[in-house]
């Protein structure tokens, strides 16, 4: 049961990392769309910062989850 649970956690960690990478690739296009809407530069920069922070947290959390559960699988 523990091996099945850790495998699911590894898959979930991979999904988190991929979601974070997806934000990094999608954000420049979304920032360009915000510029076309003629919103304030502060709002564009704040939005860009917020989404990049979310992306870093997703990648970091996913990598941590993958690493910890991979270690659990190998130790048992």
| Phi, psi for residue 74 in degrees, rounded to 5 | -75, -30
The total number of structural domains in the chain stands at: 1
Residues in CB range of 14: below 8 A, 6 or more apart = 62, 66
| Number of helices followed by number of strands (H, E) in the chain | 2, 0
Is the pTM for the entire model greater than 0.95? no
Q: What is the pLDDT of residues 34-72, one digit of tens each?
A: 889 988 999 999 999 999 999 999 999 999 999 999 998
Q: Which domain holds residue 45?
A: 2-75
Q: Which of 53, 56, 55, 73 is nearest to 11 (CA)?
A: 73
Both tokens of 73, joined, read 């699988």
Q: What is the pLDDT of residues 13-42, one digit of tens each?
A: 999 999 999 999 999 999 889 889 988 999
Q: Please report where in the chains the tokens 């990094």 appear, as a residue.
A: 24
């Amino acid at each position: 049961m523990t091996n099945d649970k850790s495998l699911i956690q590894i898959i979930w960690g991979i999904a988190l990392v991929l979601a974070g990478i997806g934000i990094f690739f999608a954000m420049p296009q979304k920032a360009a769309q915000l510029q076309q809407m003629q919103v304030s530069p502060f709002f564009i920069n704040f939005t860009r910062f917020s989404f990049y922070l979310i992306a870093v947290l997703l990648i970091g959390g996913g990598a941590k989850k993958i690493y910890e559960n991979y270690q659990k699988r190998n130790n048992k």
